[in-house]
Amino acid sequence: MLKNSVIAMIVILEFSTWRLNMTKTKVLFVCLGNICRSPMAESMFKKMTSEKGIADYYQINSVATSSEELGNPPHPGAQAEMDRHQLNYNGHYSRPITAADISNADYIITMDESNLADLKQIIPNRDLSKLHLCMDIVPGQKGTSIVDPWYTHRFDKTYQMLNQSLPLWLKKMEKIRKEG
């Protein structure tokens, strides 16, 4: 009797874990080096979903279009900006996008037109609908790039633009998740 109960509990637990994994929305943020904009977006989106109590429904990551910064932590300017907003970036190290990332993602959100163009060259046609420019969701901002703060040193401006767009992305994703 005890053995059957244990087996039933294991089956329920495995089904619950499988169901939870099946319902996660997989979000991938992309920039050139994965040391400034995309790790900021990843950290901000994780904090937003956590604060709303919906983090279990999301798998959030960030990657680079280039391998130039491979293995590097976020840029010191990005770290300082994330620290100002109590964003967790511990354990983040730059890595380039992979075919598995593309295949697994539900949303691939790029920071600028260059990232978008680079990814359009490598993403299979069947996955192009996953590809978005971050600011396109903001009314009146279609085609607007989030300029790389590695060049401008305006990490505050990057944060402001992400803070404007990411809540709209989450609102859209939540609407779709709840309808599905």
Residues acting as catalytic residues: 31, 37, 148
**Paired tokens of 52:** 């709303």
Q: What is the dihedral of CA 85, 88, 92, 94, to 10 degrees?
A: -20
Contacts of residue 88, defined as CB under 8 A and 6 or more positions apart, other chains included, come to 43, 46, 47, 82
Greatest CA separation found in the chain?
67
67/123 Cα distance (integer angstroms) = 17
Q: Are 106 and 180 in contact (CB under 8 A)?
A: no
44/170 Cα distance (integer angstroms) = 11
Contacts of residue 53, defined as CB under 8 A and 6 or more positions apart, other chains included, come to none
176/71 Cα distance (integer angstroms) = 34
